[in-house]
Amino acid sequence: MSMSTSTSVCGGGGRMNPSSSSSSSLISRSYRRARGPAHAHAHSRHSTSRCRLSASSPSSVWAGSWDEDEYYDVVVVGAGHAGCEAALAAARMGRKTLLLTLTLDKIAWQPCNPAVGGPAKSQLVHEIDALGGEMGRMADRTYLQRRVLNRSRGPAVWALRAQTDKRMYSDVMRTILERTDNLFLREGMVTDIVTDENETLTGVTTHYGVTFRCAAAVVTTGTFGNGIVWVGRKQVSAGRAGESAVSGLTECLQRYGFETGRLKTGTPSRVD
């Protein structure tokens, strides 16, 4: 099992707001058919757009100083489910967006149970889909099997759940991100938030001292913020099994007055 600090949102153009917070959700949707041809056409337009600002394309390499000349409207920290949705939303609204993650090979990775939806979560995916999110479409494209849970009970507790191919899910989501205009992908561990004398957000700084200037930052670090993993009675620092935790960012948020806590995922043991 792993434990982590909670995620937060920092908005630019104003003072750091400790009362603003956001938590990522593991949700799904498999409900394209009821939306009609117009919605399907809009989805096709989004998913096939050319990648002009992808980290994997030469156009994303600029000729200036890393920490002085590179500016983004929005920087999203963490490329899990919430981070991917936040980055896509900002980029599709025309904002120059940077998505930072520890490794590009683990974008939208599902390390434990590779399922989308289920009780108390599937209804949230309807909301994400209504706002133009990608998670429901991803479930449609990568599911191995799906079913409606609690069918023997009343409709109020029915919940759609899709078991997905975790590797395909990650690969397809990365492709969508790379093909989205206004969106850059980069690897980096954010350890500090930079503000001016008025405590207005001006950028984020990585473990190697690279600062990306921005007007707003969205922090979706999930289980990686000072994460702890227990194996039997042994405790180790990790974001998830086999991957390092992120240190420094939680302490930075605390200095600005944010309250942090821990959530236990309770992942059971399993046999490979």
- Tokens representing 170? 């990650």
CB-based contact 25:121 (threshold 8 Å):
yes
Distance CA 73, CA 218 (A): 11
User: Among 43-47, 109-113, 132-136, which stretch is predicted with the lowest mean pLDDT?
Assistant: 43-47
CB-based contact 79:101 (threshold 8 Å):
yes
Distance CA 258, CA 135 (A): 29
pLDDT of residue 247: 79
> What pTM was computed for the model?
0.71
Which residue, 68, 87, 47, 84, is CA-closest to 182?
Answer: 87
Query: Residue 247 — φ and ψ, nearest 5°?
Result: -115, 145
pLDDT of residue 185: 95
Under 8 Å CB-to-CB from 257, ≥6 apart: which residues?
A: 16, 18
- Tokens representing 137? 């479409």
- Could you read off the pLDDT of 114-152 as tens digits, one per residue? 888 888 888 888 889 889 999 999 999 999 999 999 999
Of 68 and 229, the one with more pLDDT: 229
Q: How far apart are the first and last CA of the chain?
A: 16
**Mean pLDDT across 205-225:** 89
Residue linked to tokens 């939306």: 35
269 pLDDT tier (thresholds 50, 70, 90): low
Distance CA 22, CA 218 (A): 9
Of 60 and 196, the one with more pLDDT: 196
- Could you read off the pLDDT of 158-182 as tens digits, one per residue? 999 999 998 999 999 999 999 999 9
